[in-house]
Structure 1
Amino acid sequence: MTRNIQSLERAAAALRLLAGGERLLGLSEVASSLGLAKGTAHGILRTLQHEGLVERDEASGRYRLGAELLRLGTAHLDGHELRARALVWADDLARSGGESVQLGVPHRCGVLVVHHVPRPGDTRQVLETGTTRPLHSTALGRVLAAYDPVARGEALEGARTAFTERTPCAREDVERILDLTRARGYAADVEETWDGVASVAAPVHDRRWLPVGAVGVTGAVERVCRDGEPRPDLVAAVRDCARAISRDLGAGRF
């Protein structure tokens, strides 16, 4: 008979313990609850912390579940399912906004475009489904980084790369942009990734109100913006689209 791996069983038990509590737990509490020596419990928690599955509060020294579990917990909602839920709404946004629409999900320190609706009209365009975008400079990426703690760390790490002279690369600048994005509920990118191109994006949530993706529009800056800022009507249309997709995913009323 194949034997289970004891260290993995203990790690799983530690995660269940942290998930079941309404407060942070100290090392002694974890060790006592699991029937482990303090040294063994500390080794398990330290390893889980290194992997992002557990976080340690610096002030109290106590432990809680980590942000990486956010991604593991929503892994069932892959890009294909999200795309299927968003098809109709993305098409409507492209028609009403007159610009191309992209749907993105977090992927390997960036944004994976899982669906792309080209701009209405006869202009020649390249289908961008399957391409990746940076987190710190694109509207799609900023939305994901503003709501996902793991993506936020990745955005700050990747902020060293400048794509245009307007790309923010200083950590404090990126943090300010992400805080603003979360406060107002949408993100903008005005020639910060490509010269002459602007974009607007908003978050998509699932039934547990977890961020699972972002939807946005991209187009020439003179069409997307007015007086250097995204057009209010286009921002409203993007946010309405994100809300509609979220409702289809069970997020409930806004």
Structure 2
Amino acid sequence: MIQAIDRAAKVLQSLQGARHLGITELSAMLELPPSTVHGIVKSLAEHGLVAKERGGNRYMLGPALVKLSNVYLDTLDVRARAMRWTRELARRTGLAVRLGVELFDEVLVIHHNRRPDGSQQMLETGMTIPAHASAMGKVLLAYDEEYQDTVLRVALRSLTGDTITDPAKLTLAFPGIAERGVATEEDEAVLGESSIAAPVADASGGVVAAVAVVLPSSEWPPVDGVLNDLRETARNISRELGATTWPPRVSTHED
């Protein structure tokens, strides 16, 4: 690992979540001398990756990250091939749809279709959700033993009173998720919100993403047909990516 890049990445991670931090705060968080942090921040600012508050001495994430994130999303084959299917899933179910991929111990939403009811809704593309607290994350965990090692080796934080934080309890559910091809969560990440997710596989047979429908917990369980529509969408996206079977196989440490 290159130390300078590692430190710069940790500065960016410290500023995520709309945080505005000064050099002293960043220095304490990263356990680095203020002079070192100041040099890193100045270099990142030169490239637009961080920005200084107008009239202040604190820093935030910079506008160049938006461009980089859009470039990343545009290069994802799974996103490009999934968009027409997720749009149709939202139309048929009347629910919001998310497409997510692994990002360390979280799930990154790489595409989001709002509920087609015309109501005001926030676009969630780019949002992250702790893997253990989301249906998409449970799907990705169930099909990838190495991802389980990454997520479950550290203490799992509670987001609501219903968040499952016991690794053993989560692990017990994985074989059933892999067999059925679906995972669920009720109020585990956000109170009042529940979701169902299914795996998306590529030509290698491995799971590369998860697709989910999101609904108010007051409407749980979903009406008949939603589960079938979700599974069919996951199957169609997987077929577009070259998968020959669905549900996909579980990726083990030996793969």
Q: TM-score, normalised by structure 1?
A: 0.65
2:241 is matched by which residue type in structure 1?
Answer: L
Q: Give 1:97's match in structure 2, choosing from 83, 93, 97.
A: 93
Does the aligned pair in 1 maintain the 2:105–2:150 contact within 8 Å?
A: yes
Does the aligned pair in 1 maintain the 2:139–2:210 contact within 8 Å?
A: yes
The CA distance in 1 between the partners of 2:141 and 2:74, in whole Å, is: 18
The CA distance in 2 between the partners of 1:172 and 1:86, in whole Å, is: 33
The CA distance in 2 between the partners of 1:211 and 1:192, in whole Å, is: 23
5 Å matches for 1:1-254?
80-158=76-154, 160-223=156-219, 225-226=220-221, 230-252=222-244, 254=246
The CA distance in 2 between the partners of 1:78 and 1:185, in whole Å, is: 27
Secondary structure at the residue paired with 2:139?
helix
The CA distance in 1 between the partners of 2:154 and 2:213, in whole Å, is: 23
Deviation at 1:178, TM superposition (A): 2.1
Deviation at 1:197, TM superposition (A): 0.7
Which protein has the larger Cα radius of gyration, Structure 1 or Structure 2? 1
The CA distance in 1 between the partners of 2:117 and 2:143, in whole Å, is: 34
Secondary structure at the residue paired with 1:141?
helix
1:50 equivalent in structure 2? none
Deviation at 1:159, TM superposition (A): 5.4
The CA distance in 2 between the partners of 1:101 and 1:79, in whole Å, is: 20
The CA distance in 2 between the partners of 1:142 and 1:232, in whole Å, is: 22
Deviation at 1:149, TM superposition (A): 1.6
Which consecutive aligned stretches of 4+ in structure 1 deviate over 6 angstroms post-superposition? none
Larger deviation, residues 171-180 vs 185-194: 171-180
Secondary structure at the residue paired with 2:133?
coil
2:136 is matched by which residue type in structure 1?
Answer: L
Gaps of 5+ in 1: 1-76
2:159 is matched by which residue type in structure 1?
Answer: F
The CA distance in 2 between the partners of 1:89 and 1:97, in whole Å, is: 12
Gaps of 5+ in 2: 1-72, 247-255
Q: 1:231 to 1:153 in 2, by over 3 A?
A: farther
Instruction: Give per-residue Cα distances to partners, 1:118-173, cap 9 Å, x unaligned.
Output: 01112111111011111111001000011112221233235521111111111211
The CA distance in 1 between the partners of 2:214 and 2:197, in whole Å, is: 9
Q: TM-score, normalised by structure 2?
A: 0.64
Does the aligned pair in 1 maintain the 2:136–2:212 contact within 8 Å?
A: yes
Q: 1:213 to 1:78 in 2, by over 3 A?
A: farther
The CA distance in 2 between the partners of 1:216 and 1:87, in whole Å, is: 13
The CA distance in 2 between the partners of 1:100 and 1:180, in whole Å, is: 25
Deviation at 1:214, TM superposition (A): 0.5
Instruction: Give per-residue Cα distances to partners, 1:85-110, cap 9 Å, x unaligned.
Output: 00110000000111110101111221
1:127 is matched by which residue type in structure 2?
Answer: L
* Aligned-residue identity in percent: 38
The CA distance in 2 between the partners of 1:190 and 1:159, in whole Å, is: 21
2:190 is matched by which residue type in structure 1?
Answer: W
Does the aligned pair in 2 maintain the 1:113–1:131 contact within 8 Å?
A: yes
1:175 is matched by which residue type in structure 2?
Answer: T
Deviation at 1:196, TM superposition (A): 1.0
